[in-house]
Structure 1
Amino acid sequence: MLNALQVFTTVVVGVMVGVEFSVAFVINRILDALPGDSGQLGRAHGGRMLGAVMPVWYISSLVLVAVWAVAGWGDQGAGFVVTSGALLIVSVLMSVLLLVPINNRSKTWTAENRPADWKQQGDRWDRYHYVRVAVIIGAFAFLVAALV
């Protein structure tokens, strides 16, 4: 049963990392290259869509890692699982304190109501997101290390 939990948790966290990596390095670059207001409108839509899904995914990932840490306490690799959980806590705190406030504003923006500094706010979100992606990649790497 523990093996199934380990594999399931690693896959859930790994797919989350893939989505967030894709947002940072693929989707946002595509949206930024679109003409006119299309990119900003696409980011607003993405903020609404992913803003509804990602909190559940982050918290579920953290819960799965916590269950793994408890169930596998004393096993070789338990320290890696705990470290992964700590990094996921950092990513959740970053999300709530830094990224969500910007996302909550930007997901309502249109060409008519966006603030003058909308690009700067988007750039700030991107910088925070790059750091968060690095943190969750680390969390994922520690889970993989715990498996071997």
Structure 2
Amino acid sequence: MLSALQVITTVAVGLMVGVEFSVAFVMNPIFEALPQDSNQQARSHGGRMLGAVMPVWYIGSLVLVGIWAVAGWHHHGTRLVVIAAALLIVSVIMSVLLLVPINNQGKTWTPDNRPDDWKQQMKRWDRYHYFRVAIIVAAFAALVAALV
């Protein structure tokens, strides 16, 4: 039973890392290359779509890691699982305090109502997101290391 939980948790966190990595290093650079208002429209659409899914994914991943830590408390690698949980907690707090407020504004923007500094706001979101990606990659690495 613990082995199944470990696999499910590692896959869930790994897929989340993959999505967030793709946003940072694939999708946003593609959006930057789009002509005229397309960049802002693509980011708004992405903010709406991923803004609905990612909170569930982050919290669900954290819950799975927490269950793993409790269920495997006396097993090898538990310290790494607890470290992964702590990193995921940091990523959730960071998301709520820094990224979600920017995303909530950006997902409502259109070419007609966006603020003049929308590009600067998106750059700030990107910087925070790069740091969050590093945190969740570290959490994923800790989970993988806990398995071996």
What 5-or-longer segments of structure 1 have no aligned partner? none
Structure-2 separation of matches of 1:108 and 1:37: 14
Q: Determine helix, strand or coil for the equivalent of 2:43.
A: helix
- What residue in structure 1 maps to residue 10 of structure 2? 10
TM superposition score normalised by structure 2: 1.00
Work out the number of aligned pairs and report it: 148
- What residue in structure 1 maps to residue 134 of structure 2? 134
Give a deviation string over 1:8-62, Cα, whole Å, max 9, x none: 0000000000000000000000011000000110000000000000000000000
Q: Does 1:109 align with 2:106?
A: no
Cα shift at 1:113? 0.3
- What residue in structure 1 maps to residue 72 of structure 2? 72
Q: Determine helix, strand or coil for the equivalent of 1:125.
A: helix
Give a deviation string over 1:80-134, Cα, whole Å, max 9, x none: 0000000000000000000000000000001110001100000000000000000
Cα shift at 1:74? 1.4
Structure-2 separation of matches of 1:147 and 1:84: 12
Alignment-mate amino acid for residue 81 of structure 1: V
Alignment-mate amino acid for residue 3 of structure 2: N
Structure-1 separation of matches of 2:32 and 2:40: 8
Structure-2 separation of matches of 1:111 and 1:49: 19
**Superposed structure 1 runs of 4+ greater than 6 Å apart:** none
Cα shift at 1:135? 0.1
What 5-or-longer segments of structure 2 have no aligned partner? none
Q: Determine helix, strand or coil for the equivalent of 2:141.
A: helix
Matched residues, percent identical? 74
Structure-2 separation of matches of 1:50 and 1:3: 30
Structure-2 separation of matches of 1:83 and 1:47: 29
Structure-2 separation of matches of 1:94 and 1:57: 15
Structure-1 separation of matches of 2:123 and 2:20: 16
